[in-house]
Amino acid sequence: MSEEKKMHIQCRPGEIGKYVILPGDPGRVEKIAAYLDGAKKVAQNREFVTYTGELAGEKVSVCSTGIGGPSAAIALEELVQCGGKVFIRVGTCGGISEEPKAGDLIIAMAAVRQEGTTLHYMPVEFPATADFQVTLALKEAAEELKAGYFTGIVQSKDSFYGQHEPERMPVHTELLEKWQAWKQAGVLASEMETAALFVASSVLHVQCGAVYLMIWNQERDKAGYKEFKTEDTDLAIRVAVEAMKKIIIDNSDEKRYN
């Protein structure tokens, strides 16, 4: 394993723990790192801000990925090169199903691959699925923290405005038809990184799961529900941290990575 700094995240092997939490927003990294013991900034370059500390006696890192699949995949690739093995994405999403409301958490079991990054990893027939151990730990953590949550499928897209202003796009017919298909099939939420992380983690043979705060549900708003917006990600962060702690303890008992 090369000891050189990685091109984008600017970290070296030894600076990254086996366990990594992945927010999108660089501004959330320090907030997450505050839940770790002795966390210190390791590197900052472009959208990638990285801190490393300890949790349950193990080295744990937090690295932002920026927005979208390409940068998320870059972060994952380079973090794996630095020794990362278990990843939890924590972020925000918007609603597709009318069931979840703003403030609920979405634990992703799989993702619709409506993006381009994963086509550079696997054919479109390959599913974007979460790791079972990580997903179970997120579910247990959400229940222990009494968080309202849903588990299911999310949609990963490349264009934020293609979702929010589809009518002005030349391909609006396709966008709207597919949105209705996701809704009819019970897809819970829309976001921009999960498919890339799930497929890349499968190819790299590492574990990955994801938990999201639903900041707003446009479908509930359209249906006439009294809907609100929230960007308070603290509960999602605490669920991710608690889930990672559970995984560390489980792996320590099993000596999984020795």
Which residue ranges make up each domain of the chain? 19-249
Distance, in Å, from the CA atom of 124 to the CA atom of 112, rounded to the nearest integer, reads: 10
Distance, in Å, from the CA atom of 18 to the CA atom of 85, rounded to the nearest integer, reads: 5
**Looking at the DSSP assignment, which residues form a beta bridge with residue 153?**
110
Which residue is associated with the tokens 């589809």? 166
Measured at the alpha carbon of residue 49, what is the angle toward residues 48 and 53, in degrees to the nearest 5? 135
**What is the identity of the amino acid at 166?**
P
DSSP codes joined into one string, the chain: ---SPPTTT---TTSS-SEEEE-S-GGGHHHHHTTSEEEEEEEEETTEEEEEEEETTEEEEEE---SSHHHHHHHHHHHHHTT--EEEEEEEEEESSSSS-TT-EEEEEEEEEESSGGGGTS-TTS-EE--HHHHHHHHHHHHHTT--EEEEEEEEES-HHHHHSGGGSTTHHHHHHHHHHHHHTT--EEESSHHHHHHHHHHHT-EEEEEEEEEE-HHHHHTT---------HHHHHHHHHHHHHHHHHHHHHTTT-
Distance, in Å, from the CA atom of 134 to the CA atom of 244, rounded to the nearest integer, reads: 8
CB 243 within 8 A of CB 136: no
pLDDT (tens, 9 = 90+) of the chain, 258 residues, equals: 567 999 999 999 999 999 999 999 999 999 999 999 999 999 999 999 999 999 999 999 999 999 999 999 999 999 999 999 999 999 999 999 999 999 999 999 999 999 999 999 999 999 999 999 999 999 999 999 999 999 999 999 999 999 999 999 999 999 999 999 999 999 999 999 999 999 999 999 999 999 999 999 999 988 999 878 999 999 999 999 999 999 999 998 766 555
Token representation of residue 178:
């597919």
pLDDT of the residue at 226? 85
Q: Under CATH, what is the fold of the domain 19-249?
A: Rossmann fold (3.40.50)
Predicted TM-score (pTM) of this structure: 0.95
